[in-house]
C-alpha cells in the first residue's frame, strides 16, 4: 500500500548549498526512537524558526549536495516528522538520498533552479515534474532507478521488504 | 574492457563482470551499526520481518557514539542493542572497546576484496584495506542484516594520483585535507575514489585509514587505496585495477612540497596551508576519532609534548580509537607523556566529535581537532568554530595556545 501522495501542491522553504546532516538535525538529538522529538529541532542551527513556520505538506528546496555528512537516517526522518512532503535539490549527498527513499520521503533532483523562498510549487512525483507556479517555470527531475521507484511506491524499504522478502531488480 | 578496483570487487560478488552504471544486488561480507544508527536498525529489522541476521559472525553492533551513556534515554537504547546482539548471537562491542571502524579492522570483520556495509558515513575507511566499503543509513543496514545483500549502482571511479614523498613533519592527514580541498565536499558524490602513487605507497595501515576515511568528505561512495605497500599480518590477494580501466576523472598532484594543512570553519573542504591560520588563538585541542585516534597519532602528539606542558589557556582531550590503541599507548609511554603534558583521557570511542557529550565547546570558542568534520554545530555548539588538522598540528597548537605548524617540533 502506497502511503505517498503522487501530486503535491504547497509552499517552498528555500535554503542554500551543502546543507549537512548536522544542520538538518544536530547529533545531540539523534539518539532517540521517539521520532516526534526530532521535529522540534529540525534545521535548528540553520534556521531556528523553521520548526515553528513549517506546515504539513510544505516543500523543502535546496541547492547542491543536500544532506552531506553523517549517515543518520534521523535527518530525513526529522524533515518528514516536521511535515515536509518532498525535498527538492539541485543534487543530493548519496546516503541522505537513499535514506529518504528508504523511509518514504520523496526526493527530486532537478539541477540548477531559481525557486524563490515562499514560491508555490506543484509537483507530479510520477512524472518527476516540478512546476514553479509563482515564477511560471517548470523543472524535470532526474529519473530514479526502478528499484527506488518500487521502494518509494511501497512507502519505504520496510514495507517493500515486508511484501517481497528480498530485493528484486 | 578493463575494470577499476570497485568494478572488480563487485564483479567477484555478483558472479559476472559488471561496469560503472549497472544496478546490481550483491552479496555482502559484513555489516555493522553504531549506537547512533543501531537502534533504528533494530526497529526497522523487526518491522521488515527480520528474524535472524544473515550471519551472526559477520554482523556487529558497536557502542561508540555516546559511550558510556550520558543519560537514561541513551542508556535504554544501549540496552536495546545489547539485548538484540545477545538474541542474535552476534558480537556487541561494549563502551570503551573502540570506534566502530577501528574495531572492525582490528577484529578482521573486513578484509581485502570484501564488500562491507556500515551504518556510518565513515565506513569507506576500510578502503585502506583494499575493500569496497559503503556507508548507509539504518533501514538499509537492517535490510543488509536480514538479507545479506544490498542493491547498489556500480560507481564510476575518480583516480587520485599523488607523486612525490611527503616531507618529514607532514602526515597522511595533511595529504587528505589537501585532497578534500581540491576535490571539494561534493566532488566525488556517488563515485568511488582510487588513491594511488608514490605518496600513498609508504603509508602505514593507520595512515591509509586516515586517507580512506575522508573519502566521505568528498561525497564518495567508497575510497580505495591501491594495495602497493599494504602490509597486513595475514595473507591476502590484492585487487588492482586493469591498465585499461576507465576513470571518469583523474587528478595528478606532486605532493613533495606539501605543507601542513588546516581546514577552517565550517566545511571540511575549506582547506589552506597552515601559514594562513598560524596565530589563531585556540581554547580546546582534540585528538581522536575514526580519522586520527590511532597509535601513530598519539605517538606523534607525545613526541611534540614530551616533557612539556600545554598552554595554560588550552584544554586538551584525547580519545584513543580503541582499547587496543590505548593499551599500546600505555605500553610505549605515549599516554603517560600526554597526560603529564596536561591532556585529559576519555573513553575510547567517538568522544566529542559527534557533539553529544564528553567535551562540548562553549560559545565563541575555537577548537583545533584531528577529526574529519567541522560543520557548524558539529561538536554540539553552533556558536563555536572548529579547525581540522593533523594530530601533530593539534599537539603543537595545544602547546602554543594558537594554531601552530608542527614541523619545527618534528624535524
This model of the complex carries an ipTM of: 0.94
| pLDDT at residue number B199 | 98
- Is the separation of the CB atoms in A138 and A129 below 8 Å? yes
**Do B107 and B144 sit in the same domain of this protein?**
yes
Which of B235, B258, B281 is the C-terminal boundary of a domain? B258
The domain boundary, picked from B223, B258, B293, lies at B258
Which residue in chain B has the smallest CA separation from A162? B48
In terms of Cα–Cα distance, which of B94, B91, B38 is closest to B68? B94
**Residue A18, phi then psi, degrees to nearest 5:** 55, 40
Q: Is the pLDDT of residue B179 over 80?
A: yes
When divided into structural domains, chain B yields a total of 2
Contact A72 B36 (CB under 8 A): yes
Q: Which of B40, B143, B186 sits opposite A68 (nearest CB)?
A: B186
CB B175 within 8 A of CB B256: no
The CATH number of residue B271's host domain is 3.30.499.10
- Note down the domain range covering B163: 1-258
Residue A161's pLDDT is 96
Q: Answer whether A71 sits within 8 Å of B120, measured CB to CB.
A: yes
Judgement on whether residues B150 and B234 belong to the same structural domain of the protein: yes
> In the structure grid, which three cell numbers stand for residue A105, read together?
520521503
Backbone angles phi, psi at B89, to 5 degrees: 70, 25
Chain A touched by B151 (CB under 8 Å) = yes
CA dist A19 and A72 (Å) reads 14
Residues B70 and B181 in one domain: yes
pLDDT in tens, B323-379: 999 999 999 999 999 999 999 999 999 999 999 999 999 999 999 999 999 999 999
CB contact B42 to A (< 8 Å): no
User: Which pLDDT score is estimated for B121?
Assistant: 97
Q: pLDDT tens, B270-316?
A: 999 999 999 999 999 999 999 999 999 999 999 999 999 999 999 99
DSSP string over B359-397? -PPPTT-EEEESSS---TTTTS-TTSEEEE--HHHHHHH
Nearest by CB: A102 against B139, B189, B355: B139
Domains within chain A, CATH numbers bracketed: 9-144 (3.20.19.10)
Average confidence score pLDDT of chain B: 97
| pLDDT for residue A5 | 76
> Which residues have C-beta within 8 Å of that of residue B49, sequence separation ≥ 6?
A161, A162, A165, B146
Q: Is the pLDDT of residue B11 over 90?
A: yes
Cell numbers for B371: 577529526
Interchain CB contact of A73 with B (< 8 Å):
yes
Determine contact, residues A46/B375, Cβ cutoff 8 Å.
no
Nearest chain A residue to B138 by CA: give it.
Answer: A73
Amino acid at each position: 500500500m502506497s502511503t505517498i501522495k503522487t501530486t503535491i501542491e504547497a509552499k517552498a522553504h528555500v535554503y542554500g548549498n551543502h546543507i549537512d546532516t548536522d544542520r538538518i538535525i544536530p547529533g545531540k538529538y539523534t539518539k532517540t526512537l521517539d521520532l516526534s522529538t526530532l521535529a522540534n529541532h529540525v534545521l535548528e542551527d540553520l534556521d531556528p524558526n523553521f520548526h515553528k513556520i513549517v506546515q504539513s505538506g510544505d516543500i523543502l528546496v535546496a541547492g547542491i549536495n543536500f544532506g552531506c555528512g553523517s549517515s543518520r537516517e534521523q535527518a530525513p526522518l526529522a524533515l518528514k516528522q516536521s511535515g515536509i512532503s518532498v525535498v527538492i535539490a539541485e543534487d543530493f549527498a548519496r546516503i541522505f538520498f537513499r535514506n529518504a527513499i528508504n523511509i518514504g520521503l520523496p526526493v527530486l533532483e532537478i539541477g540548477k533552479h531559481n525557486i524563490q523562498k515562499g514560491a508555490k510549487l506543484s509537483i507530479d512525483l510520477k512524472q518527476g515534474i516540478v512546476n514553479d507556479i509563482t515564477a511560471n517555470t517548470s523543472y524535470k527531475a532526474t529519473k530514479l532507478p526502478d528499484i527506488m521507484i518500487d521502494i518509494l511506491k511501497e512507502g519505504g524499504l520496510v514495507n517493500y521488504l515486508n511484501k517481497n522478502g528480498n530485493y528484486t531488480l | 574492457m578493463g575494470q577499476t578496483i570497485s568494478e572488480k570487487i563487485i564483479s567477484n560478488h555478483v558472479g559476472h563482470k559488471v561496469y560503472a552504471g549497472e544496478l546490481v544486488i550483491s552479496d555482502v561480507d559484513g555489516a555493522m551499526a553504531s549506537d547512533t544508527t543501531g537502534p533504528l536498525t533494530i526497529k526497522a529489522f523487526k518491522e521488515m520481518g527480520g528474524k535472524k541476521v544473515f550471519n551472526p559472525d559477520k554482523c556487529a553492533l558497536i557502542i561508540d557514539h555516546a559511550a558510556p551513556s550520558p543519560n537514561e534515554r541513551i542508556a535504554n537504547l544501549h540496552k536495546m542493542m545489547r539485548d538484540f546482539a545477545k538474541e542474535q548471537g552476534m558480537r556487541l562491542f561494549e563502551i570503551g572497546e573502540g570506534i566502530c571502524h577501528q574495531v572492525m579492522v582490528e577484529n578482521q570483520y573486513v578484509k581485502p576484496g570484501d564488500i562491507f556495509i556500515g551504518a556510518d558515513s565513515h565506513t569507506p575507511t576500510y578502503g585502506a584495506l583494499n575493500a569496497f566499503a559503503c556507508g548507509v543509513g539504518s533501514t538499509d543496514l537492517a535490510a543488509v542484516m536480514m538479507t545479506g545483500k544490498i542493491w547498489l549502482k556500480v560507481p564510476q571511479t575518480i583516480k587520485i594520483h599523488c607523486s612525490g614523498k611527503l616531507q618529514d613533519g607532514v602526515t597522511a592527514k595533511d595529504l587528505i585535507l589537501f585532497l578534500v580541498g581540491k576535490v571539494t565536499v561534493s566532488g566525488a558524490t556517488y563515485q568511488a575514489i582510487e588513491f594511488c602513487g608514490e605518496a600513498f605507497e609508504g603509508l602505514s595501515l593507520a595512515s591509509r585509514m586516515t586517507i580512506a576515511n575522508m573519502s566521505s568528505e568528498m561525497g564518495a561512495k567508497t575510497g580505495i587505496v591501491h594495495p602497493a605497500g599494504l602490509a597486513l599480518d595475514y595473507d591476502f590477494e590484492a585487487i588492482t585495477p586493469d591498465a585499461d580501466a576507465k576513470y571518469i576523472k583523474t587528478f595528478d598532484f606532486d605532493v613533495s612540497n606539501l605543507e601542513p594543512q588546516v581546514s577552517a570553519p565550517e566545511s571540511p573542504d575549506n582547506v589552506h596551508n597552515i601559514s594562513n591560520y598560524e596565530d589563531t588563538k585556540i581554547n580546546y585541542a582534540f585528538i581522536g576519532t575514526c580519522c586520527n585516534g590511532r597509535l601513530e597519532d598519539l605517538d606523534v602528539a607525545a613526541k611534540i609534548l614530551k616533557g612539556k606542558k600545554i598552554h595554560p589557556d588550552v584544554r586538551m582531550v584525547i580519545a584513543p580509537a580503541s582499547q587496543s590503541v590505548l593499551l599500546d599507548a600505555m605500553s610505549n609511554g605515549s599516554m603517560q607523556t600526554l597526560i603529564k603534558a596536561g591532556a585529559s583521557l576519555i573513553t575510547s570511542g567517538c568522544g566529542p566529535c559527534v557533539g553529544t557529550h564528553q567535551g562540548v565547546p562553549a560559545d565563541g570558542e575555537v577548537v583545533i581537532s584531528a577529526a574529519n568534520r567541522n560543520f557548524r554545530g558539529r561538536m554540539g555548539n553552533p556558536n563555536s568554530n572548529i579547525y581540522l588538522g593533523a594530530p601533530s598540528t593539534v599537539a603543537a597548537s595545544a602547546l602554543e595556545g594558537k594554531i601552530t605548524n608542527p614541523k619545527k617540533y618534528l624535524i
